[in-house]
Amino acid sequence: MNNTVLIDENLCTGCGKCVTMCPKRILYLDPETKKCKVTDETQCDRLGGCVWTCPMDAMQIR
């Protein structure tokens, strides 16, 4: 399975909501850029919780 978690860093404000809600714990905030990043995309459940949670509409699951 080829998961892709797409994060638009131009939209991300670093609020951390997606990090908190991700049931797979594969999202984190980059300490330097304060933008959301993904660790292991293969662990993604593809249910799109982060997509629905993000107030900036910065995330997509493909």
Question: Which chain residues interact with ligand SF4 by CB under 6 A?
Answer: 5, 7, 12-18, 22-24, 26-27, 36, 44-50, 53-54, 56, 58-59, 61
CB of 19 vs ligand SF4, minimal distance in Å: 6
What token pair was written down for 45?
A: 């459940």
CA 19-53-2 angle, 5° bins: 70
Name the β-bridge partners of 26.
none
CB of 31 vs ligand SF4, minimal distance in Å: 13
Say how far apart CA 36 and CA 10 lie, in whole Å: 11
Q: Compare residues 2 and 56 and give the one whose CB is closer to ligand SF4.
A: 56
